[in-house]
Structure 1
Amino acid sequence: MAQHTNKLAKAAEGCAKLSALALAVSLAFSAQANEEAAPDKQKIETIIVSGTAGGRGVRKVDAAFAVTNLDATKIERLAPKSTAELFKAVPGVWVETSGGESGANVFVRGFPGGGDAPFLTLSLEGVPVYPAPTLSFLENSSIFRLDDTISGMEGLRGGPNPVVSNGQPGLTTNFSLKRGYEETEGSFKYTTSDYGLNRVDAVLSGELAEDLFFMVGGYVKRSPGIRDAGFTSEKGNQLTINITKEFDNGEFNVFTRQTDDRGAWYLPTPLNVDGVDGGFTQIGTKNRYAEVFAGEYNQVVDFDLGEGRGWNGSVSGGSLKLELGNDWELVDRFGLTKGDANTYGLVPDGSAVALSSVADNGSNAMGAVTQTQYSGDTMVQAYGRWVVLKEIEAFVNDLAVSKDFDSLSSSYGVYTATTSANDWWSLGNTAYHVVEQGGEMLDGIACNTDVAGCSWNYDINSVGDATTLAFYTTQKYYFSDALTFDLGLRSEQHEVEYSVDEGLDGTTDKYVDYDERKTSWTIGGDYKFSSNQGMFLRMNKGYKMPYFDDFRDNFGTYQSGESLIKEVTQAELGYKFMGESTDLYATLFTNEVKGDTFVRRPGEPAEILTNEAIGVELDFNYNHESGFSVNLNATLQDTEITESPANEGNEAQRQPKWQLRMTPSYEFEVSGMFASVYGTLSAVDDRWGNNENTVVLEGYEKVDIGATLEPVENIKLQLSVDNLTDEEGITEGDPRNADAPNGRYIMPRSVKLSVAYMF
């Protein structure tokens, strides 16, 4: 405990230094901002809907919590290769997107985790796209694709999160769709790249009838992937329709987003083999088709592993907003998500080794496809041919009524959700392959043709349904124009029914009938030093309710009477400033997560632990009238596993002590043409690859650059270079075997060029 106290003291000292720096920067720029402000030049207010009952909205400068907002221009300049990669722009968040467009790992403020995104909720128009933050082989960002129909994103950490919406105690990211207005507008954009990408985006919006507006848009794309698989490994299309009807006292909005998009699943690669770098991928034309031997009776099924990971389904919903008179307001938001989120891939099992050490004859073996004779010094690795078929569905409704009194703003809401997942898995099916791009399987190794394979198999068929009913209230009291106090309460009933057939023998091996209730709360205060700066203090307590995989992976614990609920307690102290040209948010946070579970590989026992963290987040924006602007976001944190059977006193795995992202840009005119140049420098500290703190993942720096040019009216060119120096940073080791010398590289250097016509 003394060790932890020292760590916290050092972290607090570092946080204090960073907070002092943030305050100094703010004061320096605030004077300049006040001088620049003119009576006839008013800054457009930023309105935040995340963290408010029913999405009523609050001015960002009035929000007593830490929230980051990105508009369409910022998103365009960041040029994220996936939805999850955009979250890197949110302080306090560590994101690993080296697995491809789907299947990211997202960590929040030192919360524990071994992968996926257990403390992330992704919402569209204020509605969670899937109430379960993470299931095995599925996290929220995997079923959401960015395109030109998105107008912006908000990222809320902690704050009122445990009380509103689905009660997520960690990070809620809320995306907004573009809407139509009286004038018809549109854009058409073609994008290509140095890795063979062909993509077309289009958006059209306008007025259908009086007070009836529309927006329709989407994309079509094809490519062999940033890590070239030798075939069209990335393909997708998406169509979004957004309709809004305005009334004298409100509006009604409906939207639907139909997506069919998937790409190769990039997995950890051997770090002990020459020639394997950030462009390497296991999948290729010689191994994409595979036989999977599933279940007790060794059912043989053929699959195309080149399908990778993706989403074929729809996210639909809408909202009704009405002003009822006498300062009463009603907001109802609803959403339906339905589709398939399947996973196919070649998963490494252990280290790469010389062929002679595993060949039946002790010297060589023949390729199963090309009949090539490979010598004994050829490096080979066991790959599991994994297949996960996942059909999901969810319906969400969030109804809130609010009323403003003289000094009190009251809101009352009811949140309901039904969530289901039907799974069929075949994991294992391991066979040795040549370690080369798309390396083929080998004959002459007994277990390669044995239905049992070279390692374990884990096969399941499961079906699960969960229902959530929550009542919540938020109350905000205005002591004065400068001082406010708010309180939020949430009572949630969570029920799960879940059946599992392990081994695919037609019998139910595990059955769950679960029913629990928990009450979450948040309390906060906000004080303004002036109209554009202030500070806030907040505490909250919330819960991550268990879903299907929590029970399957912890079935013995559940049978012993444990509830499997993760309890999260947080505190925040923040400073905020919004001037004419400068925005600054600095937030000191501390948290404790009890009852977290970590499963290294499906079917293995879970480790239950308690985690503590303390840190500071910095979110700084400066925009000068000359055209120069810069964004800086930084996180400094210290974590400790405080309760664990074997790892007490260690740091949380996979999360850096510090990370920094700086994005400068400059807008200018040249020969009558409008242009901009911009870039992003990212730097991260070393991380531990496991809870045992025996595997070090070295820190790295990454540089991205870009430029736009508008040569004539309505035409825009954009060039983006990701990972300019081709840095080979490692995001994670081998999550299934920490001692194996495998790891995921960040994406290699890539160049994109787009041409857009806007009207």
Structure 2
Amino acid sequence: MNKNPLAQAVSLAVISLGFSGGLVAQQLSQEPTSDTMVIEEVVTTGTPGGASIRKLDASFSITTLNDDEIAKVSPTSTADLMKSIPGLWVESSGGVSGANIDVRGFPGGSDAPFVTVSLNGLPVYPAPTLSFLENSSLFRIDETIQRVEGLRGGPNPVYSNGQPGLTTNFILKEGTEQTEGRLKYSTSDYDLQRADALLTGKLSDDVYYMIGGYVSSSPGVRDADFSAEEGHQLTVHLTAELDNGKAGFYLRDTDDHGTWYLPGASTLPADYTQVGPSNRRVLVPVSQADGNGGSSTAWQSFDMGEGRGWDGSIGGAYLELDLGDGWTLNERFSLTSGNADTLGFVPDGSPVRLDSLTDLNGDAITSATTVSGATVSGDTLVQQFGAWVVRKDIEAVTNDLSIAKQWDTFKITAGYYTSSWEVNEWWSIGNQKYYVLGHDGEQIASVGGVGEIACNAAGVATCGWSYDVDASGDARENALYLAGEFYLGDFTFDLGVRSANRETNYSVDDGALDGVFTTYKADEDGTAYTAAVDWAFADNMGSFFRINSGFKFADFDNYREFGDSFRAGSDLVIDVDQAELGYKLQDDNYSLFATLFYNETQGMPDCVVGSDVCTRLETEATGLELDGKLYWGDFTLGLNATFQDAEITSGEFQGNQVQRQPEHQVRLTQNYDWTLSNGVEVSLYGAVSRVGERYSDSSNLTTLPAYTKVDLGTVFYINDLNVQLAVNNLTDEEGATEGDPRDPLAANVRYILPRNIKLSAAYDF
């Protein structure tokens, strides 16, 4: 296919106009039929300045989901939706926040160090992960999302925040010429009560609006016996069509949290959660400076029912201008500010019988009393739980400015990316006490006057460790990037380079707080590049080959974990090199995007949670991603598969498999549409996911078994009303996502969410 620049410019102009009026966006959400050609998907992620290109023309691996596809996934969280993107291993079993997400065999196992979540092209927080905070926790999905684009590898290291792994970009819906809206109510078998609303329209000539949000409450999929999941969100998006471009402004305010689901004893059911009405309020020991160079302990009351969540706002603005004579300018700005806190019961060690413990006098315990005065017999199972409290106040400002010039056979883009972000945080973790094992199990208080269990004695923590943090940090990154494209017949060559500088300051008082702060200062430089050739050897297919070299600067926590080695001159930057070979096919009734990938990483921290034991890993991964669809009349079959061999190539774990990532995972989706005799349209859909074996940690001591998960749903379209029934985990599979990250041999496991049923009714007007 000859990529005529003039034809491309006309096509992109039509695409831009379509998006401005919401026309193409509506088309993208329609299901193709046997007598219509598949709508050509358009992507903006991974392109210089966020320029629109056809997915078929992209020389990188990117997956798109429109609003209809998002609704049929019926995700329980933002991370849960990411399971629809190949190349990812997603542990969304922790609740509405706090997922673990790994990419393409990159080392990880905790939070999401190689995942960036963006809104309208800019990251919601430039650092992908801080301890107890990853990007997906700052984002909630609702009716205001038009589509999501998931880019793996490719040109990622050059654009935006230079993420070498995954960039997931959520695109907001825009206003429409005519006033349109949606009212939606959702409930479930776990007593979800949720109301969504969306309204789009025109304010004046060439000025459009979109406003929407939700209010939600439930006890949670794992029933906490109180309103453990509560939230609300409001989003406003204004757009203006200019004579030579487009401008927009958006603001999203969110307050949403839910129970933090943690690994539990493997003998307990998958719907278990320890927190409940009887134990949610606890006294937590907090160390503080005593004024004499030491520390003392105070006690504060906290509500473990708060769980994990986000209370904050994300706002932004953008400007896209055609300056004439082939020149274009793109300006994007965003501001994020709020609190992302974590509270919950963290298990420590395996469950034991009460009579296997001894009191402070060394005598065996035959009975005990809980904090409410209830008697506990010696054969009762008890377990240590730490009441962990992490408060995080974050803020980030990001700006991306680019200017591009198009000639007949060449295009060049220059850009300047700058961002600054802060964190003020306070932790109290560890703090183990014995609790009766089971939902709403109370803390053990005393043992009949003979003496208390040692770790329950006030101010004594011999059952485990206690660790407090009081810290503040700020970072600023400035980056220049330059990208060029050259067209030669059916070939497109592109090259991009990024030069970045990051300055970091982090002051921390950790361990037992004594008022003595250690300050880390860093000034680091890095250069990333990407190069690719794309061959469009037919109208409906092509291939590409790409290489890139990127890096991940150290974030605040790395200085705390590796402070001594950093001061001794150690380089804390993680280096990533990747290569990709892709095949692309898109026709009337089918599409297939296949990518062979290879990557190497050097310098990834691997730390034992709750200790100061940290090593730095080198890894290597080879794999294949498949992303395809087959349209056969009214039947649609989708394929999302990843096959990989990822291993550690250095240190004591050399030769081991990268932790918690399977060698294969396959997700098949099905959708069948038909019309009843009374004119009612029906859609029946489902998904079958197969996840292979994984290892719980880098030592590969504990194997997490393979499992198969089945989802099923149906939607009835009755004029302007649609009714959806979605069943998640139909067979109630108990698939393990992780063991105990603090003790690989402990009998604790976190399962995928148990079977749950959601019913919703939406009215469109």
TM range (shorter): over 0.9
Q: Distance in 1 between matches of 2:285 and 2:371?
A: 19
State whether residues 222 and 236 of structure 1, in contact with CA within 8 Å, keep that contact through their aligned partners in structure 2. yes
Secondary structure at the counterpart of residue 349 of structure 2:
coil
Cα deviation digits, residues 388-419 of structure 1 (max 9, x gap): 00000000000010111111111000000001
DSSP-derived class of the 1:747 partner: coil
Please name the residue that 2:614 is paired with.
606
Alignment match, 1:475: 484
Q: Is the 8 A contact 1:104 1:141 kept in 2?
A: yes
- 2:684 maps to which residue? 677
- Who is 2:727 aligned against? 721
Q: Tell me, what secondary structure is at the counterpart of 2:350? A: coil
Alignment correspondent of 2:696: 689
Deviations 1:638-675 (A, max 9, x none): 0111112x111111010000000000010110131011
Count of aligned pairs between the two proteins: 715
Question: Deviation of residue 717 (structure 1)?
Answer: 0.3
Quote how far apart the aligned CAs of 1:739 are. Answer: 1.1
Equivalent position SS for 1:558: helix
Query: Is the contact between residue 554 and residue 605 of structure 1 (CA under 8 Å) also seen in structure 2?
Result: no
Q: Does 1:376 align with 2:375?
A: no
Is contact 1:92–1:635 with CA below 8 Å preserved after alignment?
yes
Question: Equivalents in 1 of 2:165, 2:128: separation in Å?
Answer: 10
Match for residue 287 of structure 1 among 258, 275, 279? 279
Q: CA RMSD in A?
A: 1.2
Deviation at 1:505, TM superposition (A): 3.6
- CA offsets per residue over residues 78-107 of structure 1, 9 Å max, x none? 111000011111111000011101000000
Give, in whole Å, the separation in 1 of the partners of 2:466 and 2:697.
23
SS in structure 1 at match of 2:389: strand
- Aligned partner of 2:598: which letter? T
Structure 2 residue identity aligned to 1:726: D
Secondary structure of the residue that 1:561 maps to in structure 2? coil
Cα–Cα, structure 1 residues 505 and 696, in superposed 2: closer, same or farther, change >3 Å? closer
**TM-score, normalised on structure 1?**
0.93
CA distance in 2, matches of 1:476, 1:657: 36
Residue correspondence of structure 1 range 393-432 to structure 2 within 5 A: 393-432=395-434
Distance in structure 2 (CA, Å) of the matches to 1:263 and 1:385 = 16
The within-5 A match list for 1:413-492 is: 413-443=415-445, 444=447, 445-453=453-461, 454-480=463-489, 482-492=490-500
Distance in 2 of aligned mates of 1:491 and 1:388: 35
* Deviation, structure 1 residue 479: 1.2
The answer on 1:149 being equivalent to 2:149 is no
- Select the residue among 697, 701, 708 that pairs with 2:715: 708
CA distance in 1 between partners of 2:375 and 2:172 (Å): 56
Superposition pairs for residues 532-551 of structure 1, below 5 Å? 532-551=540-559
Map 1:307-386; keep pairs closer than 5 Å: 307-360=306-359, 361-386=363-388
Q: Aligned equivalents of 2:514 and 2:502: distance in 1?
A: 28
Tell me what 1:524 maps to.
532
- Residue in structure 1 matched with residue 20 of structure 2 by the alignment: none
Q: What is the aligned-residue identity percentage?
A: 48
- Which one-letter code corresponds to 2:281 in the other structure? Y
Give CA-to-partner distance per residue, 1:470-500, whole Å, 9 cap, x none.
00011010011x1111100000001100000
1:175 is aligned to 170
SS in 1 for 2:49: helix
Deviation digits for residues 710-736 of structure 1, max 9, x if unmatched? 23x111100000000000010000011
Show CA shifts across 1:206-253 (max 9, x none).
001110000000000000000011111000000000000110101110
1:308-355 C-alpha deviation (Å, 9 max, x unpaired): 000000011121000000010000111100000000000001111111
Alpha-carbon offset, residue 145 of structure 1: 0.3
Contact 1:292 1:300 in 2 (8 A): yes
1:590 aligns with 2:598: yes
Question: Offset of 1:561 from its aligned partner?
Answer: 0.8
- Give, as a single letter, the amino acid of the residue that structure 2 aligns with 1:92: G
Report the Cα distance in structure 2 between the residues aligned to 1:43 and 1:248, rounded to whole angstroms.
Answer: 31
TM-score normalised according to structure 2 size:
0.92
Alpha-carbon separation, structure 2, partners of 1:114 and 1:527: 37
The answer on whether the counterparts of 1:553 and 1:603 sit within 8 Å (CA) in structure 2 is: no
Aligned residues of 2:467 and 2:512 also touching (Cα < 8 A): no
The answer to whether structure 1 residue 306 and structure 2 residue 305 are counterparts is yes
- Asked if structure 2 preserves the Cα contact closer than 8 Å seen for 1:69 and 1:152, the reply is yes
Q: Distance in 2 between matches of 1:674 and 1:393?
A: 46
Counterpart contact for 2:37–2:589, Cα < 8 Å: no
Q: CA deviation at 1:365?
A: 3.5
Return the offset for 1:299.
Answer: 1.7
Residues in 2 aligned to 1:319 and 1:364: alpha-carbon distance in whole angstroms: 68
- Whether the aligned pair in 2 keeps the contact of 1:568 and 1:593 (CA below 8 Å) is yes
Which residues in structure 2 correspond to 1:612-627 (within 5 Å)? 612-624=620-632, 626-627=633-634
Q: Give the AA of the match of 1:720.
A: A
Q: Is the 8 A contact 1:499 1:508 kept in 2?
A: no
Once residues 608 and 96 of structure 2 are traced to their aligned partners in structure 1, the CA distance between those partners, rounded to angstroms, is 23
Q: Deviations over 1:195-216 (max 9, x none)?
A: 0100000000000111000000
Q: Which runs of 5+ in 1 are unaligned?
A: 1-35
Q: Secondary structure at the match of 2:742?
A: coil
| Alignment partner, residue 24 of structure 1 | none
Shift of 1:37: 9.2
1:652 counterpart residue number: 658
Deviations 1:114-155 (A, max 9, x none): 210000000000010000000000000001000010011000
Shift of the 195–401 alpha-carbon distance from structure 1 to 2, 3 Å rule, reads same
| Equivalent residues in 2 for 1:21-100, closer than 5 Å | 43-100=38-95
Tell me how far 1:359 sits from its aligned partner.
4.5
Distance 2:94 2:336 in 1: 24
1:606-633 Cα deviation digits (max 9, x unpaired): 1111000000000011123x21101101
Once the two structures are TM-superposed, the CA of residue 364 in structure 1 deviates from its matched residue by 3.0
1:739 matched to 2:753 = no
CA distance in 2, matches of 1:408, 1:42: 31
Q: After superposing the two structures, state which structure 1 stretch, 117-126 or 294-303, moved more.
A: 294-303
Rounded to whole Å, the distance in 2 between the matches of 1:215 and 1:270 is: 46
The structural deviation recorded for 1:605 is 2.2
Counterpart check, 1:634 vs 2:651: no
Correspondent of 2:523 among 515, 521, 546: 515
443-452 vs 528-537, greater mean Cα deviation: 443-452
Greater shift in the superposed pair: 104-113 or 440-449: 440-449
- Do the aligned partners of residues 54 and 452 (structure 1) sit closer, same or farther apart at CA in structure 2, a change above 3 Å counting? farther
Q: Structure 2 regions of 5+ residues with no counterpart? A: 1-32, 288-294, 448-452
Q: 1:396, 1:418 within 8 Å by CA — same for their partners in 2?
A: yes
In 1, Cα distance between equivalents of 2:513 and 2:374: 39
Match of 1:554 among 552, 562, 570: 562
Query: Equivalent of 2:106, from 82, 93, 111?
Result: 111
Q: Cα deviations across residues 557-611 of structure 1 (Å, max 9, x unaligned)? A: 2122112100000000000001112110010000000011111214522111100
1:371 positional shift: 2.1
1:368: how far off? 2.4
1:261-310, Cα deviation, whole Å (9 max, x unpaired): 00000000011x3xx11100011111100111111211211111100000
Indicate the residue corresponding to 2:264 in structure 1.
269
What amino acid is aligned across from residue 298 of structure 1 in structure 2? Answer: T
* Deviation of the 1:53 alpha carbon: 1.5
